[in-house]
Structure 1
Amino acid sequence: FVYDVELQLAGIRDNAFSFVTMQPTSEYLSLFDEFRRQLYLWLGSGLLVLLILLWLGLTWGFRTLKRVSAELDQVEGGQRQHLSDEHPRELLRLTRSLNRLLDSERRQREQYRNSLGDLAHSLKTPLSVLQGVGETLAAQTQSREQAQVMQAQIERMSQQIGYQLQRASLGKSGLVRHRVELKPLLLSLCSTLDKVYRDKHVQVEMQLAEPCLVPMEQGALMELLGNLLENAYRLCLQQVRISASHHEGDLLLGVEDDGPGVPVGQRERIIRRGERLDGQHPGQGIGLAVVKDILDSYGGELSLAESALGGAAFRIRLQAD
């Protein structure tokens, strides 16, 4: 650094003086480097403190949201009925609104089921009366044919009413997510069917993943598997196979038998409501339609293929989550 000053003394015209001062830059550069180091140090320390404060604030803030999320998971799993009030004031309005929604959904579902039960009870008596009248008419020779037609239609009405009630009551419920252990339910159904078809001595083979929880209400799952297993027991020769496995996040269920099977051209038709290939047994062919309706309400899929046992293989795909 150079600083030059020109000086001319009074009274001396020809002489002038120049004062020059110089300072090396090393001192300035050392001061600049020290200032830069101090600046980086303080800025880095300040940034670290701000990040720590931000992390603490977010952790404290999201802790409450995690608690709300955990309580919602418990509500979906059926472990609790409501969300607690042990939350910050800012979230109480949200949790209370969710509690009101849960209460409303639960009351509507209960009222719906009670109404369906009342409907079934109110229709049962008139159908029983008509059935009795039909039996009385059947005893008379001149009206026996008309009585048989009436009894057949009454039976059809009874089965269709039962189907509609099952279809309405076994759908997926709103916010609550159910998980049912598969093996105990299968053992119970197979024990009942073994008594019904005890003369066939059906051998049941189970190939189940462990653990195997089905994302469905117990009543709906029992109705679904009951229809499939009843078909398998009724049509099999002696062997039934039940399988359950996980694949790409989905739950795969299978019910197979060693019976006559279903022709390829008829597989789509029998899943439709009212279609039957077995004309030797009573029924209106609504069992598989009930199965399909239940699966539709849970976002599942039903398919029919040929089993390695030689008979039919019903395949079910359900989203595990």
Structure 2
Amino acid sequence: MQLGTSRAATPLRPAMDDLADAIARIHADRAVHITTDIADDLPVMMDAQDLDEVAGNLVDNAARHARSTVTITAMAEGRHIRLSVTDDGPGIPETDRLRATQAGARLDERGDGHGFGLAIARELAELHGGTLMLDEAPGGGLSATVLLPRAVRTE
């Protein structure tokens, strides 16, 4: 099986709630507060493992760089789900955002990352017909937004 090609409807809210709890435990020594604001009826057309890879990399990056808060939100946009992970950290300068999504790119050499998290999130999103965007968060910090395919109910 190729990575990123499995398609199954995955309920987004329980997956993100579980992920938020797991990442908060990993970063418990930093006292980062991770919250989710996601409706119950937002399934994505992506298997749970790929969703965990995409969102896990975004949430872990946010938790490592946040001063105190990470927020995970999602909303339906036509045939997509817009999943955003926003932190209150230093952010990424606009001139470095494209490079930050390239494999092996590390903008902060002080941390313990390897520079693959955002690249993995971007590549998996693209394999599923989505995109990854990095923007300045309102009030500072970074907002990493990924468009993922929305699972459509067939009744």
CA contact (8 A) 1:256 1:309 kept: no
**CA 255–245 in structure 1, closer or farther in 2 if over 3 Å, else same:** same
- Counterpart amino acid of 1:172? T
1:306 alignment partner, one of 121, 133, 136: 136
Gaps of 5+ in 1: 1-108, 110-168
Q: Which residue identity is paired with 1:257? A: D
| Equivalence for 1:265 | 95
2:133 aligned counterpart, secondary structure: strand
TM-score, normalization: structure 1? 0.45
Cα distance in structure 2, aligned partners of 1:216 and 1:253: 13
The match for 1:170 is: 3
The 2-side partners of 1:196 and 1:205 are apart by 15
Query: Shift in Å at residue 273 of structure 1?
Result: 1.2
Report if aligned partners of 2:46, 2:128 keep a CA contact under 8 Å in 1: yes
Bigger Cα Rg? 1
- TM-score, normalised on structure 2? 0.90
Taking a change above 3 Å as real, the CA distance of residues 299 and 266 of structure 1, as seen in their structure-2 partners, is same
- Tell me, in whole angstroms, the C-alpha distance in 2 between the residues paired with 1:283 and 1:210: 32
Separation (CA, whole Å) in 1 of partners of 2:94 and 2:115: 18
- Residues 306, 313 of structure 1: 8 Å contact kept: yes
> By how many angstroms is 1:271 displaced?
0.6
Given candidates 95, 106, 113, the residue that maps to 1:283 is 113
Matched, 1:214 2:44: yes
Q: CA deviation at 1:213?
A: 0.6
- Counterpart mapping for 1:60-99 below 5 A: none
Instruction: Using the TM superposition, give the Cα deviation of residue 276 of structure 1 relative to its aligned residue in structure 2, in angstroms.
Output: 1.2
1:248 corresponds to = 78
Instruction: Measure, in 2, the Cα distance between the counterparts of 1:276 and 1:179.
Output: 33
Instruction: Check whether the contact 2:24–2:34 (CA below 8 A) recurs between aligned residues.
Output: no
Query: Is contact 1:257-1:309 (8 Å) kept?
Result: no
1:229 aligns with 2:62: no
Separation of aligned partners in 2, 1:198 and 1:283: 17
- How far apart are the structure 1 equivalents of 2:35 and 2:11? 18
Q: Which has the higher strand share?
A: 2
Q: 1:239 aligns with which of 69, 79, 95?
A: 69
Unaligned runs of 5+ in 2: none
Distance in 2 of aligned mates of 1:205 and 1:283: 23
Aligned equivalents of 1:267, 1:194: Cα separation in 2: 25
Higher RCO structure, 1 or 2 (CA under 8 Å, sep 6+): 2
**Match of residue 104, structure 2, among 250, 257, 274:** 274
- What residue in structure 2 maps to residue 75 of structure 1? none
The percentage of counterpart residues that share the same residue type is 33
Corresponding residue number in structure 1 for 2:126: 296
The correspondence of residues 197-212 of structure 1 with structure 2, limited to 5 A, is 197-212=27-42
**CA–CA distance in structure 1, aligned partners of residues 25 and 147 of structure 2:** 29
Residue 184 of structure 1, aligned match among 10, 14, 30: 14
Q: 1:192 to 1:210 in 2, by over 3 A?
A: closer
**1:202–1:239: 8 Å Cα contact kept in structure 2?**
yes
